[in-house]
Amino acid sequence: MSNNSVPKIKRFAIIGFPLQHSVSPRLHNRAFKDYGMKATYEKMPIPPEEFEARILQLKREDWGGFNVTIPFKERIIPLLDGVEKTARAIGAVNTIKCDRGRWLGFNTDWLGFLRPIEWKLDDFKHCLILGAGGAARAVAFALIRLKNVKSLIIANRTMHRAELLVNDLQRFGSTASISAAHLNSLMPFSQQKFDLIVNSTSVGMNDPLATPVIDPKPLAHSKTLIYDLIYKPPETGLLKRAKKLGLRTLNGYAMLVHQANAAFEIWTGKPYLPVTLKSLLR
Ligand code: NAP
């Protein structure tokens, strides 16, 4: 058999720092195996100070695609050869498809975020997002596209980052009122109460004992949903506190699976979920 007839193994990876928490290799390797595809998916931790140099080096190699996670979803954009319309609007990329050496950026987080709650989207009129990083951008973009969302507050530790996101969102001409706040000064909003509070900060990630990023008690009513994008640990300090208060809670696992599903489809043209579920059935 000549070398030309040996099918090449396609390589995929997740780029981020730190990456211990990531279960993406497990999800994608399973789907590749279920489909019988010759492909591998690995973790590629890149220290922030080496980011640009390492990406330029990777661009000279042969890759099928990447996922991008904390803290690089915004920083990757200037290094790409093209960015799909929605990802450009969001200002964050979590999926890259390498097409004959051209790196094209996509965002599947916004869809992954909406899927697990799509059956109750009508409930969410007043929403609070904690954080203003790459994941918060996708969540905010998803929420302002919903007709019934009347108000959206973006609260972040670094105020100017929240203000920047609010400015970007206002360009879409949404009828919702959108404003920025500091994470430590949310009390003025306690009169209003939120229907949905989303934690898109990394506070609590890999640390079940971390102090919750905020106390939801003064900001929640009896039906508020506390949605933490973190999936490891499955119950963060914020979700534990919310449960104690009798609030509805959701962690980030379903979002993870849905964003992975959409990324897998971008890379392979095939759906991820059906084949993986099928492999689990008797
Ligand atoms: P990112 O771009 O690095 O943003 C991190 C955010 O966390 C920023 O708003 C940052 O605030 C805030 N933050 C970090 N440390 C903090 C602290 N000690 N106190 C208060 N705020 C702090 O990261 P990302 O990509 O948006 O990811 C954020 C989280 O969402 C991560 O835990 C990630 O795993 C999770 N996520 C989950 C999924 C899923 O599928 N379930 C998808 C995407 C993301 P500053 O601006 O002040 O630094």
Query: Ligand 1 center to residue 233 CA distance, Å?
Result: 15
**Alpha-carbon gap, residue 29 to 104, rounded angstroms:** 22
Task: Looking at the structure, tell me whether residues 103 and 117 fall in a common domain.
Answer: no
Give yes or no: residues 161 and 208 share one domain.
Answer: yes
The whole-angstrom separation of Cα 216 and Cα 115 is 24
79 and 167 in a common domain: no
Number of domains composing the chain:
2
Q: What three-state secondary structure class fits 141?
A: helix
pLDDT of amino acid 1: 43
Q: Are residues 177 and 269 in the same domain?
A: no
> Do 103 and 115 reside in the same domain of the chain?
no
Ligand 1 centroid – CA 203 distance (Å):
7
Indicate whether 175 and 235 sit together in one domain.
yes
Phi-psi region of 91 (alpha: psi -120 to 50; beta: other; left: phi over 0): left
For the chain, residues with pLDDT lower than 70 are 1-7, 273-282
Asked if 193 and 221 sit in the same domain, the reply is yes
Q: pLDDT tens-digit profile of 4-19?
A: 566 689 999 999 999 9
Atom 16 of ligand 1, nearest CA residue: 203
Helices (H), 59-121: 85-90, 109-114
Looking at residue 255, what is its pLDDT? 95
Q: Does residue 119 share a domain with residue 101?
A: no
- 3-state percent helix, strand, coil for the chain, nearest multiple of 5: 40, 25, 35
Q: How many residues does the chain have?
A: 282
Pocket test for ligand 1, best of 115, 200, 236, 253 (most atoms within 8 A of CB): 200
Domain region containing 153: 111-251
Do 141 and 240 have their domain in common?
A: yes
CATH number of the domain that 277 lies in?
3.40.50.10860
Give yes or no: residues 121 and 232 share one domain.
yes
Q: The sheet that has 151-156: what strands, in order across it?
A: 177-182, 151-156, 126-130, 194-199, 220-228, 248-250
pLDDT reported for residue 278:
59
Residues 20 and 150 in one domain: no
- The pTM of this model reads 0.93
Q: In angstroms, rounded to a whole number, what is the distance separating the alpha carbons of residues 223 and 207?
A: 27
Q: How many helices (H) and strands (E) does the chain have?
A: 9, 12
pLDDT of residue 21: 80
Report pLDDT digits (tens) over 245-280.
999 999 999 999 999 999 999 999 998 765 666 565
| Active centre residues (catalytic) | 73
Helices 273-280 and 24-35: angle between axes, nearest 10 degrees:
80
Return the CATH number at 115. Answer: 3.40.50.720
pLDDT recorded at residue 174? 84
- Ligand 1 is surrounded, with C-beta below 6 A, by 69-71, 73, 109, 112, 131-136, 156-158, 161, 183, 200-203, 205, 213, 229-231, 252, 255-256, 259
- Give kind and range of the element (H or E) at residue 218: none
Same domain, 102 and 19: yes
